[in-house]
């Protein structure tokens, strides 16, 4: 049984004060929610404060990125151990904005996924095609490459600790959501690949999130599809009441 997971990716929004005010507003709105894992991914400076405020609640914390090295001369970077120490249990890895603006590749994503697992963090590995790739009919080829390279060398025994997020780049921050059918088609394809990689039983346990202009109005339709196990939410996660309405999709 895959427990749905809804994660809010705040990107580079919210000061520490704004982050803590958000959490104080969100917690009472979602305290009664059961059967859904709720995760917030604040910017690095707010990881510790958000983790402290959510400790013992039904809200978990993720970093939006991390380096693959445990320590070293990497000015400006944050290690998996530091993310864990700040109180996060998850790490978003390979978000399309990281790939687009910070030169992340399938190989660096793979190193980060392995490092996250080694540190006891749950990686949320993002992948998805661009608009031109979709229009050229290359969606499946692109996501297959991203999935296979991103998960290379990771054994089936780690499968239940890996989360995949399908985020078509053309749907991120654009207001243009993939239709539930379009998303389901790719999710089913990804689960088929996971089955080739790790076997059918392991593949059935992996949560595959959808991301791309998710909002209260479309979450229920998306979640109604067989292989959509949750959502990675950007813009609509910045307001506590809106995010709470997404979390309470059922
Ligand atoms: C994201 O940042 O992962 C995302 C899906 O953004 P948005 O919901 O704003 O499209």
Predicted pLDDT at 1: 81
What counts of helices (H) and strands (E) characterise the chain?
11, 8
Predicted local confidence at residue 67, as pLDDT: 98
pLDDT at 192 (0 to 100): 98
- List, for residues 168-221, the tens digit of each pLDDT value: 999 998 888 889 999 999 999 999 999 999 999 999 999 999 999 999 999 999
Find where tokens 């390979």 sit.
94
Q: Give nearest CA residue, ligand 1 atom 8.
A: 234
Whether residue 168 has its Cβ less than 6 Å from ligand 1:
no
Torsion of CA 217, 58, 20, 215, to 10 degrees: -10
**What gap in Å lies between CA 228 and CA 209, rounded to an integer?**
6
Ligand 1 pocket check for 63: Cβ under 6 Å:
no
Q: Does the pLDDT of residue 90 top 90, yes or no?
A: yes
Burial tier of 35 (Cβ tally within 10 Å: 0-12, 13-18, 19+): exposed
Look at ligand 1, atom 4, and give the residue with the nearest C-alpha.
234
Q: Ligand 1 centroid vs 106 CA: distance in angstroms? A: 20
Model confidence at 6: pLDDT above 90: yes
66 CB near ligand 1 (under 6 Å): no
* 131-160 exposure pattern, b = at least 16 Cβ within 10 A, e = fewer: eebbeeeebeebbeebbeebbeebeeebbe
Q: What is the mean pLDDT of residues 4-20?
A: 98
Is the CB of residue 100 below 6 angstroms from any atom belonging to ligand 1? no
Residue 131 in this model has a pLDDT that exceeds 90? yes
Q: 45 CB less than 6 Å from ligand 1?
A: no
DSSP-assigned letters across all residues of 140-187: HHHHHHHHHHHTTT--GGGGGG-EEEE--GGGTTSS-PPPHHHHHHHH
| The pTM of the whole model exceeds 0.75 | yes
Distance 183 CA to ligand 1 centre (A): 14
The CA 96 to ligand 1 mean position distance, Å, reads: 10
**Pocket probe mutation, ligand 1, options 91, 127, 213, max atoms within 8 Å of Cβ:** 213
The yes-or-no verdict on residue 250 having pLDDT over 90 is no
Q: What is the DSSP letter of 75?
A: T
Residue range 14-37, pLDDT digits in tens: 999 999 999 999 999 999 999 999
pLDDT at residue 224, as a whole number: 96
Q: Which residues are catalytic?
A: 95, 167
Choose the residue to mutate in 64, 217, 233 for probing ligand 1, maximizing ligand atoms within 8 Å of C-beta: 233
Ligand 1 lined by 94 (C-beta under 6 Å): no
Decide the pairing of beta strands 59-63 and 122-127.
unpaired
Arithmetic mean of pLDDT, 101-106: 97
With a cut of 90, say whether residue 99 has pLDDT above it.
yes
Nearest-atom index, ligand 1, CA of 92: 3
Q: How far is CA 27 from CA 9, 62, 99, 243, in A?
A: 17, 16, 32, 11
Q: Compute the average pLDDT of residues 147-173.
A: 96
Q: Is the Cβ atom of 214 under 6 angstroms away from ligand 1?
A: yes
- Asked if residue 54 has its Cβ within 6 Å of ligand 1, the reply is no
Residue 61 pLDDT exceeds 90 = yes
Ligand 1 atom index nearest CA of 237: 8
């Amino acid at each position: 049984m895959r427990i749905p997971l809804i994660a809010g990716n705040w990107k580079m929004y919210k000061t520490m004060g704004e982050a803590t005010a958000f959490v104080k507003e969100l917690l009472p709105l979602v305290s009664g929610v059961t059967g859904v894992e709720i995760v917030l991914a604040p910017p690095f400076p707010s990881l510790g404060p958000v983790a402290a405020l959510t400790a013992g609640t039904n809200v978990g914390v993720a970093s939006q990125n991390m380096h693959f090295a445990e320590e070293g001369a990497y000015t400006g970077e944050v290690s998996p151990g530091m993310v864990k120490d700040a109180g996060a249990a998850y790490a978003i890895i390979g978000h399309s904005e990281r790939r687009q603006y910070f030169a992340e590749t399938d190989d660096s994503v793979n190193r980060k996924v392995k490092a996250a697992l080694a540190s006891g963090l749950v990686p949320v590995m993002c992948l998805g095609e661009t608009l031109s790739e979709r229009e050229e009919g290359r969606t499946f080829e692109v996501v297959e490459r991203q999935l296979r390279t991103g998960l290379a060398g990771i054994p089936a025994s780690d499968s239940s600790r890996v989360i995949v997020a399908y985020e078509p780049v053309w749907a991120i921050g654009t207001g243009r959501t993939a239709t539930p059918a379009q998303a389901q088609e790719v999710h089913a394809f990804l689960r088929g690949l996971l089955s080739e990689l790790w076997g059918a039983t392991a593949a059935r346990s992996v949560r595959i999130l959808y991301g791309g202009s998710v909002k209260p109005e479309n979450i229920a339709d998306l979640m109604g599809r067989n292989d959509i196990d949750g959502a990675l939410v950007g813009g609509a996660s910045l307001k506590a009441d809106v995010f709470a309405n997404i979390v309470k999709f059922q």
